[in-house]
Each structure stands twice: as structure tokens, then as C-alpha cells.
Amino acid sequence: MLGPQCCESAPHPHPGVGIGRVETFQHLPAYVTASPDAKAAVILISDIYGFEAPNLRKLADKVAAAGYFVVVPDFFYGDPFVRGSVENPLAGVQDWIKSHGTDKGFEDSTKVIEVLKSRGISAIGAAGFCWGAKVVVELTKGEVLKAGVILHPAIVTLDDINAVKAPLAILGAEIDKISPPELVQQFGAILSAKPEVDSFVKIYPGVAHGWTTRYNENDEVAVRNAEEAHVKMLEWLNKYLN
């Protein structure tokens, strides 16, 4: 489910942000930033605001600096969601989601993985934010990822989590009406009952849905809260990709 919190603090797309470049992965544009010696890859899957969100690209550069080949695909093909009015931020989202479903995102993500493998990279992880979390969970149901991370997820169900096979970390927000703490705790209970699947679940206090990528850079507390989650995300990926 998408809700008003998915549309709050909408970023302004800025294709000039970041030290990487835009490449094409089987007709899919993607922001690419990489460590020169990278032997493993991380796919970052955006929320509904797409791959040009400045904080997302900065996070991609940070992950690359940790030693990875990082890909941030444009799953919306230049058509990210545009926030409605203050009074009705969800205006048009139902029509938008019909042509930007996570099923198509999952299909496109498998193509990105094919390209990475063709370049000799077999250790691949993924992190998804809001809309992108659903795509990551779909990928963890198979054997294509070494590990996944989902941050303030949307659209993810209990049945989805029950089908997870790859190691998965879930980073949730205390103030989240999309995936409230009670639901995230249920996710954790399901994963805990699956000893064959390594998992980590944390609900971050005092933060709201979207806090890891849609923070105000001038707000020191918001930046610190986001960076705390970024560190945990990297720790989880390092555990399985290094």
C-alpha cells in the first residue's frame, strides 16, 4: 500500500548530483558509481521519486566508496511520481502506480543482474526504499541475491516475507503508517521462525517513513538518523558480499 507518507518531503530530481555516470542496462537507464577494484555489486532501488533523487545518488556514491559497483536503475523510465498538492499529495498516484508496478520493477531488476553477471560480477546485493523494498523482497525469494536490505518498506506483505530465501535486513521507522512497527515486528517474527534465513530487524525510534533518503541536509538530527541506517545497511551487505 502507498499512502500520504510516501509523498512527504518529496525530493527535487537533480541529475547533476553525484560523481557517477548514467549508463544503459538493456535499455534501462541507470546511475552507476563504482570503486575501481569492485568485485561485488549493490543495486539501490528507489522510492516513487526515482533515481535522480539527490540523497539517493549521494548514498550510492557512499556505498561505492565502501568498495562496490553500485547501480541505481531508473525503473520509471524518466517518469517518477510527481507529488500532488499539499492538500492532496496522493493525487494521481493510483493511475501512476498502474503503469509503474513493482512487478515490472522486478522484471527489469533481473535484467540488471544479468548485465552485472555478464561483466563478471556474481556477488550481488540490493537495497530498496519504500516502493523499491517490494522489488528487493521479490528478488530475495529466489537465488539471485547474496543479501537484501529493505528500508521503510511499502507494499510488502506477510506472505512476501514468508517466501524470503536470501538473508534480509529490515530497517523500519517508529512513525510509519505504511509499514507500522507492528507490521515490521510481524515480519521479524516470520523471519525468526526461518532458521535457514539469516535476518536482522530494527525499528528506529523517532523517525518517519522515508527518513533514510528524504531528509533535509540542513537538519543535523535528520542527517544523523539517516546515516545511522546507512551504516547498518552497509554492515549487512558487507557481511554477505565481502
Give 6's pLDDT tier (boundaries 50, 70, 90): low
What proportion of the chain, given as a percentage, has pLDDT over 70?
89
pLDDT, position 95: 82
d(CA 198, CA 131): 23
Q: What is the predicted pLDDT for the residue at 3?
A: 57
pLDDT in tens, 72-129: 999 999 999 886 555 555 667 778 888 899 999 999 999 999 999 999 999 999 999 9
Looking at 100, 152, 209, 230, which residue is catalytic? 209
CATH code for the domain of 113? 3.40.50.1820
Q: Is the pLDDT of residue 1 over 80?
A: no
Catalytic residue flag (residue 103): no
Count of CB atoms situated within 10 Å of the CB of 18: 21
Residue 130 falls in the annotated catalytic set: yes
Mean pLDDT calculated for residue range 144-149: 98
Question: Are the C-beta atoms of 156 and 122 separated by less than 8 Å?
Answer: no
Burial category of 74 from C-beta neighbours within 10 Å (exposed 0-12, middle 13-18, buried 19 and up): buried
Neighbour-count burial of 169, counting CB atoms closer than 10 A to its CB (0-12 exposed, 13-18 middle, 19+ buried): buried
pTM, rounded to two decimals: 0.93
pLDDT value for 94: 78
Question: What's the mean pLDDT when you consider all of the chain?
Answer: 92
Residues 202-214 have a mean pLDDT of 96
> How many domains are there within the chain?
1
Q: Tens digits of per-residue pLDDT, 23-75?
A: 999 889 999 999 988 999 999 999 999 999 999 999 999 999 999 999 999 99
pLDDT in tens, 159-195: 999 999 999 999 999 999 999 999 999 999 999 999 9
Check whether 14 has a pLDDT greater than 60: no
State which residues form the domain around 70: 4-241
pLDDT at 37: 86
**Within 10 A of 126 (CB to CB), how many other CB atoms are there?**
29
* Type of residue found at 153: P
Q: Which of 130, 152, 160, 230 is catalytic?
A: 130
